[in-house]
Structure formats: C-alpha cells, structure tokens
Amino acid sequence: MAQVYERVALIGLGLIASSMFWAMKRSGLAGEITGYARSAETRDTAREIGLCDRVCDTMAEAVEGADLVVLCVPVGVMGAVAAELAPALKTGCTLTDVGSVKADVIAQVSPHLPEGVHFIPGHPLAGTEHSGPRSGFAELFDNRWCLLVPVEGTAPEAVAQLRSLWEGMGANVEEMDAEHHDLVLAVTSHTPHLIAYTMVGVADDLRRVTDSEVVKYSAAGFRDFTRIAASDPTMWRDVFLSNKDATLEILGRFTEELFALQRAIRRGDGDHLHAYFTRTRAIRRGIIEAGQDTAAPDFGRSAKK
C-alpha cells in the first residue's frame, strides 16, 4: 500500500500507539515514525524492541516536522499533553487522538491549537486488556471500526488522508459527532466495563467466604468479566470521569431495569422474567440474522433504512 503520511509522531507508547506503529509498518503507510513516552523506562523498552524509527526524549523533538501527530495517552491528560506539544506543531499538520471519549477530549485540546493545524479526533474500537509498549500488534485494527469525529469546518482533504491511514491499518472508518459517539460508547463499552469491574469486585468479596470456589468454578461469562476487569486502571478511571454525563445516563437506566428484575425475582414474577429474557434473546437473534455479529457494528444504521 502507498505511503499516506511522510512523518508520523506517536505520543504515549502504549497498546494503541505500538499497534499503530506495527500496523503502519506492515503496509508502509508512513515514511518515518517518531515516538515519545513520558517515562525513560518506556523509551528504553521501545528502543529495545524497535518500536518507532526514532524514540525521542522530548515531545517537541518527536513532533517537529511531523505531518500527523497522534495522541495515545489516557483521556484525562489529553489537554495537558496538547498544551505541551502545541508550540512544536508544524503548520498544516494533522493532530488526532485515539481516546475512548470524544466531547471532553475536544474541549480539553481545542483551546491549545495553533492556527493552521487540522484537529481530527478519532477512536479505534479495538483493544485488549493489556497495556504498555510491548502489548501492541499489527492486526489489532483489522476489520474493526475506527470512528472519526471531525469538528465543523475541518478540511475534507485532511479527513480523507486520516481515513486512508486507518483503512490502510485494516480498519473500517465512519464519521460521527462527539455527543453521539459518547452516548453510543457509554452503552456498548463504558457501562459494560463498569459492570464487569463491579461483578469481579462482588465475587472477590464472596471469595473470602467460599474460599477459591468462585475462581475454580467460574464459567465463560465470569472469565470474560475478569479479563475486562484487568484493563488499565488509569485509562478506565479517566474514561468514567471524562464521559460522566453519558455514563450516568446509561447507568441510571441500567439500575432501573436491574431493580425491576430484582423485584420480579423477589415476588416470584416468572412472567416478567420470561418476557424480559425472550425480548433480549430476540435482539441477539436479530443481530445474527442481519449478519451483524462482527466486530464492526453499524450502530443501528441498517434499522433506520
């Protein structure tokens, strides 16, 4: 595949940045890829494993002359990182990010942007419970969605170029506005993560009573919860603080439904339980019949047609 950007800078060398590096290298999408990490230990690891063509000791050095700068840090520090690197950005370059929340990141980053920089927020819907520079792999984005959230007035050529990069890394790209993104992700990712954290916490409390039975007899569903609950605490703390409104909205609805199910169990209301489970089974069957049981959901678009 042809080169999309001459020079790319990755800021924060964790799971997503390292996966982007290997994916760009796989298809020759960038001429030179520089990288910056805050800790000397991460920079040493990156140099040791050949992550980035050039690992820089300062953000300014990594960003200098870059045509594309990608912020791959936790969402809580996007603004501070943008403020630090803004003076070093080349006029005409594109600044993007990979954060799991969009409206808050836009609010944090926008005030620091110099004239002539194209800011195009993004979010690959692909990840694992692992983090750090050694955790990335080239295939992470293959056949997964990457959502771009261009703010009004962004140059279409700059968006098209970033789209080409993500497509070159294997992703399917869609554009979406920030508020809609944050609500959709609160439903599909953020609240489910919170539920997994809670369930593993509950089981851990119980383990003190029942010894190791919870782990010993755990079925697939619970094992998935423990995998998700092993995700990076800093990243997920920031996601909930940053997507506060949408998460609280979905969590409110979730607890209302949960209380209704709790009441049905207490009252022995089998009809309520049966009707509810029949409805959820139909949803799953509908997904399969529509051929949408893939990593690339269409967020209800086909239903609107």
Ligand X SMILES: NC(=O)C1=CN([C@@H]2O[C@H](COP(=O)(O)OP(=O)(O)OC[C@H]3O[C@@H](n4cnc5c(N)ncnc54)[C@H](O)[C@@H]3O)[C@@H](O)[C@H]2O)C=CC1
Binding footprint of ligand ENO on the chain (CB under 6 A):
100, 125-129, 189, 228
For 169-196, give the DSSP string: TT-EEEE--HHHHHHHHIIIIIHHHHHH
| Listed ranges 36-44, 172-180, 215-223, 285-293: which one lies at the site for ligand X (CB under 6 A) | 36-44
Name the minimum Å distance from CB 209 to ligand ENO.
Answer: 29
Q: Which does 171 bind (CB under 5 to 8 A by kind): ligand X, ligand ENO, none?
A: none
Q: What does the block give as tokens for 214?
A: 């919870």
Is 79 a binding residue for ligand X by CB under 6 A? The answer is no
Minimum distance, C-beta of residue 234 to ligand X, in the bound complex (Å)? 7
Stretch that binds ligand X, among 8-16, 175-183, 197-205, 217-225 (CB under 6 A): 8-16
| Closest CB to ligand ENO among residues 207, 226 | 226
Q: Note whether 118 and 94 are within 8 A (CB).
A: yes
Binding partner selected for residue 189 from ligand X, ligand ENO, none, CB under the kind-specific 5 to 8 Å limit: ligand ENO
Of positions 23, 70, 75, 186, contacts ligand X by CB under 6 A: 75
Selected binder of ligand X within 35, 79, 99, 168 (CB under 6 A):
99
Distances (CA, A) of 212 to 87, 90, 186, 216, 293: 55, 57, 33, 6, 35
Q: What residues contact 35, with CB distance under 8 A and at least 6 apart?
A: 9, 10, 11, 13, 17, 21, 46, 51, 52, 54, 55, 56, 62
Distance CA(296)–CA(126), nearest Å, equals 10
Closer to ligand ENO by CB, 11 or 55: give it. 11
Region near ligand X per CB under 6 A, out of 35-43, 148-156, 256-264, 275-283: 35-43
Q: Which is nearer to ligand X, 77 or 187 (CB)?
A: 77
Spatial distance between the Cα atoms of 108 and 136, rounded to a whole number of angstroms: 27
